[in-house]
Structure 1
Amino acid sequence: MSAAVDMDEIKISVATVDDSERLLKFLHVHYYREEPLTVGCEPPEPDAADENFLLSNLPHGTCVMAMHEGRIIGAGVAGPKMPDEADHLFEEAERLAGSKWGCILGLLAIVERDANVFQRYNVNKALHVHAIGVDSSLRGRRIGERIVTALAARGRELGYPVFTSDCTSVYSARMMKRLGFELLNRMPYTDYVDAAGKQLIKPPAPHEFVETYVLRL
């Protein structure tokens, strides 16, 4: 299938609420199955709250899809975040304690607090990418880079001063480096433990860290 796709024929467009069903179906196959936070804790499937959160970004006009002949071959989900993001994440993690999504939010809250993007960059809002998925048969053809570039352009168009990403995967981190993002913070997965010292999220190798990257827009 990959040989049949002409890279020049790929079109990237802004995703809308009407795309919710097919976007989520695509992400289940080409994002969630390999996403380190998702596969790093049980059960292997994402919580409904996780799915609903991703789809909640669509009304902002900050998500994109890479299309080829009417088929999604890549997608990027991004949305706004404000200076109170860390507090919000800690509150949501506490509210959803005991659930898979609550566990994931707990880690993301720590990452957000420690990255401290708003103070370090002296900004009052940011565009944050939450998920990037590329058709597994088309990996290695820089479709992910095109998606991130399109998201950054959308962020500039909408007046966001910075674009951020918490890279849970070593592969997404490498991509952000290639695209000129600045590494702002690194958190080892082994640091995220419960009161008894048990590691809460254990992604498979080679994923060892969550790395926060920032690009000035």
Structure 2
Amino acid sequence: MEYKLIGMEHCDQVLEHLRRFFFADEPLNKAAGLCQNGSSCTALEDHCVEAIKDRMSLMAVDVKVDGCCKIAGVVLNGILRPGDTAKSRQKLDGSIDADFRKIFELLHGHSLKHNLFEHFDVVRMFDVRILSVDSGYRGQGIANELVKQSLAVAKDNGFRVMKADATGIFSQKIFRSHGFEVFSEEPYDKYTDKNGKVILPVEAPHIKMQQLYKRICGEDEDVKKQPH
């Protein structure tokens, strides 16, 4: 298995992988009925492409399949700066995809309530956004290696803090095994409308989302300038 940075030239392959192995099965997407296995979701794919543009994402590639390269797993990482989440939350108002809005109103709303930038006093964070492995390759440690190599990319690029909004119990376990800690969390049964109805009826064993973080060694450029 080879692990490589994802470039814009890999977008189509990566999106096809996500359509088959992530979009329909991710706990919040599944609860919202966002899309069927193999089908596309324009808003979600745009979200993925935005991460790929930052050139911090990685893919696991099996080079032994039929003499060509097959994507076995991907981790989409982006650069998050103060104000980015607020801008993304505002953009949701213009989205015509009601199911997509339900999901990201939860994610963005939670991040805005629990501000990691202020807590760690940094001007950017390495944001782990999507972790996905081909069903035929699961159980081989690929997700763990993708997170491990993401840590190396974050270090190489001088980040001091990594962040992940983990929506399922399995990704939460993987992140914690790599030293991530829980900064905040939100039970899905507390995310309700004005009538008290649960907005996203997520299936067990996934009962809550967690905002996780990991401190890493970075360069001085990542720290806010202190007044003299």
Q: Under a length normalisation based on structure 1, what TM-score does the superposition of the two structures give?
A: 0.90
2:43 corresponds to 1:52:
no
Q: Does the residue aligned with 1:56 lie in a helix, a strand or coil? A: helix
Cα displacement (A) at 1:43: 4.0
Q: Does the residue aligned with 1:39 lie in a helix, a strand or coil? A: helix
Residue type of the partner of 2:169? V
Looking at structure 2, the residues matched to 88 and 112 of structure 1 have their Cα atoms a distance apart, in angstroms, of 12
- Aligned residues with identical type, % of pairs: 22
For residues 121-153 of structure 1, give each alpha carbon's deviation from its aligned partner in whole angstroms, at most 9, with x where no partner exists. 111110111111111122222110100111121
Looking at structure 2, the residues matched to 95 and 197 of structure 1 have their Cα atoms a distance apart, in angstroms, of 25
Distance 1:208 1:60, change over 3 A: same
2:10 corresponds to 1:19:
yes
For residues 8-27 of structure 1, give each alpha carbon's deviation from its aligned partner in whole angstroms, at most 9, with x where no partner exists. xx110000111011101111
Looking at structure 2, the residues matched to 191 and 51 of structure 1 have their Cα atoms a distance apart, in angstroms, of 28
Match of 1:161 in 2: 160
Contact 1:93 1:103 in 2 (8 A): no
Aligned residue pairs, count = 208
**Structure 1 unaligned spans of 5+:** 1-9
Cα displacement (A) at 1:90: 2.7
Cα displacement (A) at 1:84: 1.5
Match of 2:142 in 1: 143
Looking at structure 2, the residues matched to 48 and 99 of structure 1 have their Cα atoms a distance apart, in angstroms, of 12
Looking at structure 1, the residues matched to 178 and 119 of structure 2 have their Cα atoms a distance apart, in angstroms, of 21
Looking at structure 1, the residues matched to 189 and 61 of structure 2 have their Cα atoms a distance apart, in angstroms, of 38
Residue type of the partner of 2:186? M
Q: Which has the larger radius of gyration?
A: 2
Looking at structure 2, the residues matched to 208 and 78 of structure 1 have their Cα atoms a distance apart, in angstroms, of 24
Q: Does the residue aligned with 1:137 lie in a helix, a strand or coil? A: helix
Contact 2:34 2:100 in 1 (8 A): no
For residues 90-118 of structure 1, give each alpha carbon's deviation from its aligned partner in whole angstroms, at most 9, with x where no partner exists. 31233327622211110011221233111
Match of 1:40 in 2: 31
Match of 1:79 in 2: 78
Which runs of structure 2 are paired with 1:79-98 in the superposition (5 Å)? Answer: 79-96=78-95
Residue type of the partner of 1:20? C
Distance 1:61 1:43, change over 3 A: closer
For residues 163-193 of structure 1, give each alpha carbon's deviation from its aligned partner in whole angstroms, at most 9, with x where no partner exists. 1100000000011111111111110111211
Distance 1:14 1:157, change over 3 A: same
Q: Under a length normalisation based on structure 2, what TM-score does the superposition of the two structures give?
A: 0.86
Distance 1:52 1:133, change over 3 A: same
Looking at structure 1, the residues matched to 21 and 126 of structure 2 have their Cα atoms a distance apart, in angstroms, of 23
Contact 1:89 1:108 in 2 (8 A): no
For residues 4-53 of structure 1, give each alpha carbon's deviation from its aligned partner in whole angstroms, at most 9, with x where no partner exists. xxxxxx11000011101110111111212320111011343463111111
Cα displacement (A) at 1:79: 0.4
